[in-house]
Structure 1
Amino acid sequence: MSGIQIKNLYKIFGDDPAMALDLVKKGMGKAELQDKHSHVLGLQDINIDMPDGGIQVVMGLSGSGKSTLIRHINRLIEPTAGEVIVDGVDVLGMSRGDLRKFRANKTSMVFQKFALLPHRTVQSNVEYGLEVQGVSASERHARSKKWIDRVGLGGFEENYPSQLSGGMQQRVGLARALATDAEILLMDEAFSALDPLIRTDMQDVLLELQSELKKTIVFITHDLDEALRIGDNICILRDGGIVQKGNAQDIILHPADDYIKDFVKDINRARVLRIDSLMSDDLANAGTMKLDRDTRLDEAARQMQEADVTKAQVVDSSDKVIGAIALDDIVNSMVEKVEVESTV
């Protein structure tokens, strides 16, 4: 698997990006750069380490730079400055030939608008990336059939995209991306065009597959609920710069500023926070019930209520007791207001 390192990445759109870059590094902001020099600051000094086999979510509102960022990873957009390193190689320094191989074999992309070929059947769409790789017809057929079945579309191989619902079309897009066996999966607002129930269903499909495949996934979204649900790590952008990085618990418990606080204020904390964020070292009367430290608060509350207990032991992955959790603390946490940290 391949991790991704993004270092000091800048992107400025305009006729003289080098001039604009110098101004930005001297402190000029996005609005001033646009007003005075008619240049757009797309990305500003982005630094992210995306670990192997994890889901890195990049989120932000429209214009924040998130889609610009993901397109630098496979160099669909050329940077103004910076590095994008995969397997120790800077993608931005690759030759045209190496870049073609990188795009064909190392990365796959899933788009918001599905990007299916309307004149091809489901089977043929899923095989497309394998054709680009030069895979034989028999192997293309076997591999595409495997992934069509895995995403729940068995029996629809000969249908055309126009004959499928939006959710089914996006399953085709996901199967096409997975069929190439690329280590890196780039998903740009992949579920944003779907109805809420279908969107949740696609998130379930992705998480189920990821639990087995352990791809390195970069997932772009403007929806915080989606980000918190699927992201191992989350990076929030605003005006081309990073506002906060961390896991779901970091962001919910310690929002960096009022901008992040506004994002998280209506989040159902019980569906995000894990019990290790509330556990204490008071094992007195903790009883014999054990809960894994990664158990969500809502699930822990349900299990404790069903077992008719008010305290439980918290254990790590080796079943070692590391603390205790009280049902009252879980209930109180569900209604607490989030406080903003004093520092970003």
Structure 2
Amino acid sequence: MQVEMKPVIRVEKTKNSKISQVDFSNLPFGKVYTDHMFICDYKDGQWQEPKVIPYQNISLDPSAKIFHYGQSVFEGMKAYKDKDGKVWLFRPLENQKRLNISSKRLAIPELPEEIFMEGLKELLKVDKNWIPQSEGSSLYIRPFVFASGNGFHASPADKYTFIIACSPSGSYFAGKVKVLIEQTYSRSANGGVGYAKAGGNYAGQFYPTQLAVDKGFQQVIWTDDTSHEYIEEAGAMNIFVRINDTLLTAPTSDRILDGVTRKSILDIANDMGIDVEVRKISVTELVEAAQNGSLKEMFGAGTAAVISPISGFGYQDKTFDIPELKNSYAEQFKKHITDIQYNRAQDKFGWRYEVK
């Protein structure tokens, strides 16, 4: 049996901390950055020395392949601090595994688990004081890897850079959102990279989303790439629908991201005895449920927002409102997940990971 060796991580601490300049009572999402970052390069066929260094700019040649061929994937995670000051992660190995699934699809070298996990833990230890403790706040963590090798030839790069950067943040969304069911544009296609967290997936969403915003909506519900008859995702999140007391969500595929929050909700719902169906959800079924009153809830699920309730949706120049429901599934799931994340409740699933 091969035993994985922990990598030796060199730590260079900043001489000028920025933490005293931060208003932790008024944190925007993802716009304030901690004092340090983790970095590790891949070249000559292997990952090099991993380091924690002061947060800083990076320098790239104009011919770096990330600029030309888009080899870039990322993850989204959070670190939480409980009332006793202990630091927790939520299912971090799921993010590590998915980063490699995304990397493989884009011909990026896979990152060893020990570099990802040990680098993440070392970074969090160094920047522990940046993790906020106020309700709803957390340290957002962005691991990403991109092609830093040079060349205009259309081929995979010979060098890559992996970075973990962190941002203390407040709540991602406030209140409910209205969404527009997309009938023209597609987020992804069969055989494509929709299941990977590739930067280009999100770039391709911005234009159709802006068209929806111009019509008075906050987000888009993406439909399948051929018929636009089945709903698949809500903006950058997985989508859930409650019809009567049954919880529905689309199955993962080439087009749909296998979200960590999504799979957590499914496990919690099954544990609660909620009737769950993972299947295709047609736009026709959704509209009919809204019209006959059986549509009780819709919500998006993802790391940043955890759960984002949907108050209504637009389709073919009509808007369908969803009445507010007391003790909704969305509220129950969000409380269940955040109680585990902040170490306020029993973790029967073993999802909580302490950073010591």
- What TM-score do the two structures reach when normalised by structure 2? 0.24
Which protein is richer in strand relative to its size? 2
Which protein is richer in helix relative to its size? 1
- What TM-score do the two structures reach when normalised by structure 1? 0.24
